[in-house]
Amino acid sequence: MSARVPTVILGGTGYVAGELLRLALGHPRLELAAIASDSQPGEPVARAFPHLAAACGELRYCSHDDVQRLVASQPRSAVLAAAPHGVSHRLLDGLLTAAEAAGARPVVVDISADYRFADLDEYARVYGHPHAAPARARQFTCAVPEHLAQSPTPHVAHPGCFSTATLLASVPLAALGLVEPQFFVAAVTGSTGAGRTPIAGTHHPQRHSDLYAYNALTHRHVAEITALARAASGSEVRYAFVPHSGPFARGIHATVQARLRRPLDTAAALAALRDFYQGAPFVRVLDAPPRLKDVVASNYAQLAVAADGDTIVVMAVLDNLVKGAAGGAMQWLNRLLGFDETTGLTAPAPGWT
C-alpha cells in the first residue's frame, strides 16, 4: 500500500467535523495531519468529542494559519472543510493561494454552501452576501457523487443533506423522463442538522415528541436543489419543498411526489430506480418503505417507490451527518485521490440507535 495522504480538517468543533474526524481516523489511506479551530487552538480535540477520545489520543486543535502552512509544505495533501457558510470561501481561497505559491497541490472537499453555486449571483441572493473568491469558485464542482462519475475540476463542494436526499429521490425520475417537471417534497430532519450551538428550534425539550414544518416553500436549499437537478438530469425542474423538524438527533426522511407522464406501476418504477443506481454502492432501492435506523451513522442511503395511475412517490432516508455531509465528502475525496470510493465508508448502520 502506498504512503498515506496527509489530511487536514477545517472548522473542527462542529458535528460534521466530528464525523469527518471519526471517518479520517479510521481511513486506511489517510493520515490525519491536523484539525483546525481558531476558537480552540491548543485545546484537546477529545474535549470537544469525548466519544472519540480513544482514537484521538493527545491530538490538539491548531489554528487555520497553522493548517495553511502545513498544507503549503506538503506536495500532496487532502483538505476536508467544515467551516461555516460565509467563512469557508475566504478560508479556502487563502489556503489554496498559499499552497499554489509553494508548488503544493492539495485536493479540497468543502461541505459548506460557499462553493456549491456555479451562478454566484444566485449564491449572493440566497445567502445575502457576495462571494469572496469568485475566481476560485470555478475550481469547484458540486454534485451528489451518484450523479457525476468524475469531477471536471480539482476540488469538489458536497451538496447539503436535504439536497442529497431530495436529489437521490428525484433526479432519476427527471433524467428518465418519467414525470412532469414539478416535484413536491416533504422532508424531516434531525436536530443535528441545525448545528452544535443550541437555539430555540433545536433545543431538545422543544423538539422532543414534536414535529413541525418551517420555511415552507422558502428554504434556502431549493435554489441549490434546482440547479443540481438541472445539471444531473438535463431537465428544467421545479421543487415545492417543505422541511420539517423531527424529534430525533440524526437522519433525514424525504418524501418526493410527482405526476407521471404515462401510467407506471410500482414494479416498473422499482426496476427503473434500480437500473439507474446500478453500480452505486451506497444507494439501495428497497421493496418496502425505508427506515432511518437502517442507515443512521452510515454512508448508505435507502430509497423506495410507489406508483399508482398518474402519481409516483419516492421515499429516501439517509444520515444527515454522514451521507449528507461528512461521508459524502469522504466519498468524493476518495475519488479525487484515486482510491475506490468506498474506502473507509463501508461500515453498516449500528441499528437500534
Same domain, 307 and 173: yes
Q: Are 208 and 111 found together in one domain?
A: no
Full domain range(s) for residue 178: 161-320
The answer to whether the predicted template modeling score (pTM) of the entire model surpasses 0.85 is: yes
Task: Based on the fold, state whether residues 223 and 302 are members of the same structural domain.
Answer: yes
Residues 96 and 43 both lie in one domain:
yes
For residue 154, is it within any domain?
Answer: no
The answer to whether residue 251 is domain-embedded is yes
Q: Is 261 exposed, middle or buried (0-12, 13-18, 19+ CB in 10 A)?
A: middle
Structurally, the chain folds into a number of domains equal to 2
Are 298 and 325 contacting, i.e. CB atoms less than 8 angstroms apart? no
Distances from the Cα of 3 to the Cαs of 28, 68, 76, 104, 194, in angstroms? 10, 21, 11, 17, 37
Query: Is residue 112 domain-shared with residue 62, that is, in the same domain?
Result: yes
pLDDT by residue, tens only, the chain of 353 residues: 468 999 999 998 999 999 999 999 999 999 999 999 988 899 999 999 999 999 999 999 999 999 999 999 999 999 999 999 999 999 999 999 999 999 999 999 999 999 999 999 999 999 999 999 999 999 999 999 999 999 999 999 999 999 999 999 999 999 999 999 999 999 999 988 777 776 776 677 788 899 999 999 999 999 999 999 999 999 999 999 999 999 999 999 999 999 999 999 999 999 999 999 999 999 999 999 999 999 999 999 999 999 998 999 999 999 999 999 999 999 999 999 999 999 999 999 999 88
Domain-located, residue 167? yes
* Same-domain status, 201 and 297: yes
- What are the residues facing 301 on neighbouring strands? 283
**Residue 14, domain member (yes or no):** yes
Q: Decide which of 104, 138, 172 is a domain's last residue.
A: 138
Residue 195: φ, ψ to 5°: 95, 180
My answer on whether 178 and 301 are in the same domain is yes
Q: Output the domain CATH number for residue 41.
A: 3.40.50.720
Residues annotated as part of the active site: 161
